[in-house]
A and B are shown apart, each in its own frame.
Chain A
Amino acid sequence: MTTPAGKRQELTTRVAALENALTAAGKVATADIDDTVDLYTNRLGPRLGAAMVARAWCDDDYRRALLADATGVLREEDLGDAARGNKGLPFLHLVVVENTPAVHNVVVCTLCSCYPLALLGAPPRWYKSDAYRARAVREPRAVLAEFGVRLEAGTSVRVWDSTADCRYMVLPQRPPGTEGLTVDELAALVTVDSLIGTRRRL
């Protein structure tokens, strides 16, 4: 997944040229771009969503609030370091959809690559691929099979195409046999694929 050295040098220079032009014109600050790189690579990530999932497994009031109005819940969450300088967070409209024995949820953006960036950071490469965008609505069960998901007989698949302002996160089912675990231990079980819906069992 790397570009040839010559092409890489050209793209690196073009990005730097654009950044130089915008900073020289006083339109953006290099420090803001540096901070944004740090935000999306170090401070945001699936662990923030995983913590919300683990809490929902342990606290039914929180779970119901999350399913009814995840945006409202998110506005009250203390995201600590991840909230500092997070200019996208106040604009994030989050919808949480819950997996049950009868329903499996999968999230896609067929038009571009919409994803709850301001919470989960940048999306995985496969999420942005032409193949996922084309196939997730057309043949979700075949796509899920490639990820190793085996659905129980009678389970329906619900595909959420992120076509507008809302960003989606899946609330996976709590794994059996985890009754004794703490919230932090539970959160450690939650993977990014399970938050997008390309993994069912944790």
Chain B
Amino acid sequence: MQSSPPPNAAGPLPAFQLSGRHDIDDPIPGIDDAARFHEGWEARIFALMRTAVADGLITTDEFRHTVERLPAESYHGMTYFERWLHAVQQLCLEKGHISAADLAAGHARAAAHAHAHPSPAAASFAPRPEAGVQVPPVEERFAVGARVRLEDGPGAHHRMPAWARGLTGVVTCVRGHFPLPDLVVDRRGAAGMHWRYALYSVQVPATDAFEDADPRDVLALDAYDPYLQEAAR
């Protein structure tokens, strides 16, 4: 693993890092809104994305990373499911599942209200087997109770939220061993999908993250081993 960028590195936060934003102060919208989808296309792109993941066309990390690559004006200019449509389409083109010509043909048929024909898809109802792939043993560098410093992950798609960057927390449990999102989006074979890293639950006093927080409160996140550095006692 290469060294991580320094926490709280200079530069504006990407659009998806909302948690450090003091300028987003709107009331929570739709508290009493029970509907999960408000228009037919929303349910359709939601199901298309879930199907593409289940069939192994894309991974959730690749999908998130594609949303994260949106410039701020696009990110905030799109509704939630518009981001989904953008990301699934972009990713299917980038990964060569479809070509621009396929999409144009699909558009012509959609505009003419022609129906797509079902075709068989690979079923994947269980975690993928790892047989034959050489992977290093998982190292758990930290034990429950360890004090750790939270840093950005080593890749372009890491899962360290803005609120926690650079803070010190305490490991409260080991969640298990999982692929590192930073590597999954790199699509470098075994290193991406098959190498496993320890995932820890880490807790931070809320006042360490936000000055005005209630001193009784605690913020918790899950962080992968490469995101953590040993912190002084």
A residues whose Cβ falls under 8 Å from a Cβ of B: 1-3, 8, 11-34, 36-37, 40-41, 87-88, 90-91, 93, 95, 110-113, 117, 121-126, 128-135, 137-141, 143, 146-147, 154-166, 198
Docked complex Cα distance between A68 and B163 (Å): 28
Q: Check if A110 sits within 8 Å of B18, measured CB to CB.
A: yes
Q: Check if A15 sits within 8 Å of B26, measured CB to CB.
A: no
Q: Check if A129 sits within 8 Å of B29, measured CB to CB.
A: yes
B22 is an interface residue with CB less than 8 A from chain A: yes
Among A33, A124, A134, contact of B47 (Cβ-Cβ < 8 Å):
A33
**Interface size bracket, B side:** 35 or more
B34 is an interface residue with CB less than 8 A from chain A: yes
Q: Top 7 A-B pairs ranked by shortest CB distance?
A: A20-B106, A21-B106, A16-B110, A87-B54, A110-B19, A164-B222, A134-B24
Q: How far is the CB of A59 from chain B (nearest CB, A)?
A: 24
Looking across the interface, which residue of chain B has its beta carbon closest to that of A105?
A: B220
Among B67, B80, B218, contact of A157 (Cβ-Cβ < 8 Å):
B218
B77 is an interface residue with CB less than 8 A from chain A: no
Q: Check if B45 sits within 8 Å of A15, measured CB to CB.
A: yes
Among B31, B109, B114, contact of A126 (Cβ-Cβ < 8 Å):
B31
B69 is an interface residue with CB less than 8 A from chain A: no
Docked complex Cα distance between A111 and B31 (Å): 20
Docked complex Cα distance between A81 and B117 (Å): 26
Q: Which residues on the A side are within 8 Å of B79 (C-beta)? A: 3
Among A32, A146, A159, contact of B206 (Cβ-Cβ < 8 Å):
A159
Q: Check if B36 sits within 8 Å of A123, measured CB to CB.
A: yes
Q: Which of B1-35 contact A (CB under 8 A)?
A: 16-19, 21-22, 24-31, 33-35
Q: How far is the CB of A177 from chain B (nearest CB, A)?
A: 26
Q: How far is the CB of A164 from chain B (nearest CB, A)?
A: 4
